[in-house]
Amino acid sequence: MMKITVIGCGYVGLVTAACLADFGHTVTGVDIDPAKIALLKKGTSPIYEKDLTPLITANIQRKRLFFQTSLESSIKDAEVVFIAVGTPSLRSGAADMEQVMAVAAGLAKYIKDYKVIVNKSTVPIGAGKQVRKIIQDRLGADIEFDVVSNPEFLREGYAVKDFKEPDRVVIGTDSPQAQRVMARVYEELIKKGIPYIQTNLESAELIKYASNAFLATKITFINEIANLCEAVGAEISTVARCMGLDTRIGPQFLAAGPGYGGSCFPKDTRALAHIGRTSGVPLTIVETVITANEEQKARMVRKIEDAVGSLQGKTLGLLGLAFKPGTDDLRESPAITIINKLLADDALIKAYDPQAMKEAEKVFGKTISYCVDPYTAAEGAEALVIITDWEEFRSLDFPQLRKVMASPTLIDLRNLFTPDEIKKHGFRYKSVGRG
């Protein structure tokens, strides 16, 4: 078993650290945020993610998982160092490499013997070589090290499962020594027969962006088909289901809705489009997907307006704020764009999310009201809008909602229900892509 350091204990770093410790490695998670490290040392996860907390506490108890703020002492004994810091968007759309480069500069100060530096952050093509150069320039030729790209494909809400049972593991490096080390890191997954692909740095870096952009395209495609359904009298659920039954297409990512969001798709599509532009190979499909996704969110606001008339002074109940169920992550959630547009039109927002209320307060402050359940959010509302498809919203008590709402209108931006079942309850119903 190996000694591993993971730098950055955000969504990806924390899941990586906890799962690698669970595979039997001794792992130290490092973060510059002392509050996060203090929580983690107590076994408390700073994020809501199914199955993560028990994994953290169990491996802390087994003395295989440690957390600290000091990079220097974490590097000394580590054979492998994962970089899992953020790569947010710059104004140009390019990925901001500041955090990754700061870590590279820090590593250069402390490396004293052979290490494998593994980039798990999603980075532009060529970033691995840049990391190598920063470290090499400071270290000189005496100390050997390798830089590997090992992109992460986990889905928030299923992060632990996805790390332990991934569709594939991608390892990008030309170094046979680094390949041998990485095969030991992922021995557990290789033994299970998980597809394990070794390629060069550049291909590994591109695989991540290409995969995310393709998924974002699939979502955007079905959203545009849903909009067409509304115009021509077709029904998106049936159209999508029958498309998905074609094994060449597949059923996933064909649920029409308010547009993609989250910590990855928006920034990764922008970054890939930027890479295309600067490489002289414009990625016109990706560029269009980005624009169409923005329009989809704006379209949702128009849908709400169509249902309630002028928004000024109207109370709206909103269900779901996280960018998808199973997480408290609000990064680039469609809910943010939709709420900001509704607030700009002077609507009064009462919101409920099963997990993301604390995160929502950081984003919206006192501009919206935070409710303890769907029924409190619905109280006095002219319409109830479902933005995130949390499972618990499927069992809403409609007679109870009718009693407390000013007007029984449901705007279901995730198509959780069918028009027939909602109309039975005496509600006006609007959804996405039902002509």
Please list the active-site residues.
Answer: 264
- CB–CB of 69/34 below 8 Å? yes
Q: For residues 283 and 213, what is the distance between their CA atoms, to the nearest angstrom?
A: 10
Buried b (16+ CB within 10 A) or exposed e, 227-247: bebbeeeebbbebbeebbeee
Which residue number, 16 or 237, has a Cβ lying nearer to ligand NAD?
16
Whose CB is nearest to ligand NAD? 10
Which residue number, 169 or 229, has a Cβ lying nearer to ligand NAD?
169
Build a one-symbol-per-residue string for 219-258: x at contacts with ligand NAD by CB under 6 A, - elsewhere: ----------------------------------------
Q: For residues 8 and 6, what is the distance between their CA atoms, to the nearest angstrom?
A: 6
Give the binding range for ligand NAD (CB under 6 A) out of 6-14, 131-139, 191-199, 344-352: 6-14
- CB–CB of 13/84 below 8 Å? yes
* Position 87 contacts ligand NAD (CB under 6 A): yes
Nearest to 405 by CA among 428, 424, 432: 428
Q: For residues 51 and 54, what is the distance between their CA atoms, to the nearest angstrom?
A: 6
Q: Which of 4, 17, 27, 30 binds ligand NAD (CB under 6 A)?
A: 30
Extract the tokens encoding 128. Answer: 């691995």
Extract the tokens encoding 150. Answer: 């090992």
Q: For residues 259 and 222, what is the distance between their CA atoms, to the nearest angstrom?
A: 10
* Position 37 contacts ligand NAD (CB under 6 A): no
Give least dist CB 155 to ligand NAD, A: 7
Sheet containing strand 315-319, strands side by side: 369-370, 348-352, 315-319, 383-386, 409-412, 428-430
Extract the tokens encoding 393. Answer: 């919203």
What is the signed CA dihedral for 88, 38, 53, 45, rounded to 10 degrees? -30
* Position 93 contacts ligand NAD (CB under 6 A): no
Q: Which of 147, 154, 349, 381 binds ligand NAD (CB under 6 A)?
A: 154
Give least dist CB 46 to ligand NAD, A: 8
Sheet containing strand 65-68, strands side by side: 65-68, 26-30, 3-7, 80-83, 115-119, 145-149, 169-172, 196-199
- CB–CB of 78/5 below 8 Å? yes
* Position 86 contacts ligand NAD (CB under 6 A): yes
CB atoms within 10 A of CB 249: 14
- CB–CB of 315/406 below 8 Å? yes
Please give the helix or strand (H or E) that residue 429 lies within, else none.
strand 428-430
Give the binding range for ligand NAD (CB under 6 A) out of 85-93, 126-134, 247-255, 286-294: 85-93
* Position 117 contacts ligand NAD (CB under 6 A): no
Give the binding range for ligand NAD (CB under 6 A) out of 149-157, 185-193, 317-325, 379-387: 149-157
Q: For residues 101 and 91, what is the distance between their CA atoms, to the nearest angstrom?
A: 18
Q: For residues 170 and 153, what is the distance between their CA atoms, to the nearest angstrom?
A: 10
Extract the tokens encoding 338. Answer: 């939709």
Give the binding range for ligand NAD (CB under 6 A) out of 9-17, 348-356, 386-394, 401-409: 9-17
* Position 108 contacts ligand NAD (CB under 6 A): no
* Position 216 contacts ligand NAD (CB under 6 A): no
SS3 of 389, please?
coil
Q: Which of 85, 117, 319, 338 binds ligand NAD (CB under 6 A)?
A: 85
Beta bridge partners of 151: none
* Position 7 contacts ligand NAD (CB under 6 A): yes
Which residue number, 211 or 407, has a Cβ lying nearer to ligand NAD?
211
Q: Which of 4, 6, 12, 201 binds ligand NAD (CB under 6 A)?
A: 12
* Position 149 contacts ligand NAD (CB under 6 A): no
* Position 152 contacts ligand NAD (CB under 6 A): yes
* Position 104 contacts ligand NAD (CB under 6 A): no
Q: How far is Cα of residue 43 from the mean position of the Cα atoms in its chain?
A: 23
Q: Which of 2, 3, 24, 32 binds ligand NAD (CB under 6 A)?
A: 32
* Position 269 contacts ligand NAD (CB under 6 A): no
Q: Among all chains, which residue has been given the structure tokens 């409190």?
A: 376
* Position 18 contacts ligand NAD (CB under 6 A): no
Give the binding range for ligand NAD (CB under 6 A) out of 11-19, 129-137, 226-234, 313-321: 11-19
Q: Which of 6, 9, 97, 290 binds ligand NAD (CB under 6 A)?
A: 9
Q: For residues 167 and 163, what is the distance between their CA atoms, to the nearest angstrom?
A: 9
If binding means CB under 6 A, how many residues of this protein chain bind ligand NAD?
Answer: 26
Give least dist CB 123 to ligand NAD, A: 7
Which residue number, 122 or 409, has a Cβ lying nearer to ligand NAD?
122
* Position 171 contacts ligand NAD (CB under 6 A): no
Contact set with ligand NAD (CB under 6 A):
7-13, 30-33, 36, 84-87, 99, 102-103, 121-122, 152, 154, 156, 263-264
